Amino acid sequence: MLDALAAAVRALLYAGVLSMVGFVLAELTLRPSQAMVHWLDRMTRRAAALTIAACILGTFVLFLRLGGQLDEATGSAVLTSSVGAATGLQMAGALMLLFAVREPSSSPVGRAGNAAIAVASFAFNGHAAVVGFVEGLVAAAHVTAASWWLGALFLMRHECEHEPAQFAALVQRFAALALRLVGGLVIAGLILVLILVDFDRNPWLTPYVRALAIKVAIALSVLGLAAYNKLRLTPPLMSGDAHAARTLRSTITAELLLIGAVLITTAILTTYTSPHE
């Protein structure tokens, strides 16, 4: 029961952190309209609040999973371990974003620095971080690219509905960056697979690898939808095809749902399995 609760809280944490960081990066890179900037600020605050709530709840669940005893060993495992350090970074980044977006003078670059604090947590805690610091940095880069993609999709979906006249220009700006950033996401993901999967192990198809294969299959589905959007829907959208815009909004929704499935699978993967066992 506690493991299931831990996985659910971890999925919420991933959703909060990636959305929070993604909204900031989308504002920084895609030059949205002023109305969309205000919307991104609201969504960033909500994602930051979700991150803070998930951090607090996750700490409490970890305390219970360790036995729930108020002793020095449990306190050290919860607060001074790599998990505690990662939680502290996520909380710090979320708190700064929660208040930074309220300041009219705050810049997207400044908020990106706050978001980087939260992303840095993945360099210190997680399966890749256990292997080494460089491997943790690869994981942090992977999370950063995934965050940008998630934030950009949310922004495009919202703008298609509320500012359709500017939707094509936003998609064009997204397409100009997506090949490089999503390409980086895929490369970092492949590196992580090579780092975490021991193909010399007998048998190498462990519970971790099977769960990872499910995650990769869902991620490939997202990439397939993204390729369809770029090759089949973006060209007619640039020509002013209203039907292409409506279809693109639907496929973006499908991408978001699949990314949600990736986050849930990742939470299950990191809660129930380990590549080091």
Q: In this structure, is the dihedral angle defined by the CA atoms of residues 106, 112, 114 and 118, taken in order, positive or negative?
A: positive
Q: Is the pLDDT of residue 100 over 80?
A: no
Residue 42 to residues 4, 34, 174, Cα–Cα distance (Å): 30, 13, 21
Q: Is the pLDDT of residue 104 over 60?
A: no
Give the model confidence (pLDDT) of 239-269 as tens digits. 888 889 999 999 999 999 999 999 999 999 9
How many Å from the N-terminal Cα to the C-terminal Cα in the chain?
22
**pLDDT value at residue 177:** 94
Q: What is the mean pLDDT of the chain?
A: 90
> In a 3-state reduction of DSSP, which class is residue 55?
helix
Q: Is the pLDDT of residue 72 over 80?
A: no
What are the tokens at 269?
């993967």
Q: Count other C-beta atoms under 10 Å from residue 64's C-beta.
A: 12
Give the model confidence (pLDDT) of 150-178 as tens digits. 999 999 999 998 888 889 999 999 999 99
Q: In this structure, is the dihedral angle defined by the CA atoms of residues 147, 186, 224 and 13, taken in order, positive or negative?
A: negative
**Residues of the chain with pLDDT > 70: what percent?**
96
Residue 88 to residues 79, 119, 166, Cα–Cα distance (Å): 9, 12, 39
Mean local confidence (pLDDT), 2-17: 94
Q: Is the pLDDT of residue 63 over 90?
A: no
DSSP 203: S
**Residues of the chain with pLDDT > 90: what percent?**
65
CA atoms within 13 A on the CB side of 125: 18
Give the ranges where the chain is alpha helix by DSSP (H). 2-30, 34-65, 72-79, 82-100, 108-119, 121-124, 127-131, 133-162, 167-196, 207-228, 234-238, 242-272
**pLDDT value at residue 13:** 97
**pLDDT value at residue 73:** 73
Under the banding of pLDDT at 50, 70 and 90, the label for residue 202 is confident
Q: Is the pLDDT of residue 106 over 70?
A: no
Mean local confidence (pLDDT), 269-273: 91
Under the banding of pLDDT at 50, 70 and 90, the label for residue 1 is confident
Under the banding of pLDDT at 50, 70 and 90, the label for residue 102 is low
Q: What is the pTM of this model?
A: 0.93
**pLDDT value at residue 215:** 95
Q: Determine the Cα–Cα distance for residues 17 and 58; give it in Å rounded to an integer.
A: 13
**pLDDT value at residue 7:** 94
| 276 in Cβ contact with 132 (< 8 Å) | no
Mean local confidence (pLDDT), 58-81: 79
Give the model confidence (pLDDT) of 135-151 as tens digits. 999 999 999 999 999 99
Mean local confidence (pLDDT), 189-200: 89
Long-range Cβ contacts of 36-44 (<8 Å, 24+ apart) = 36/155, 36/158, 36/159, 36/163, 39/158, 39/162, 40/151, 40/155, 41/101, 43/19, 43/154, 44/20, 44/97, 44/101, 44/111
Under the banding of pLDDT at 50, 70 and 90, the label for residue 71 is confident
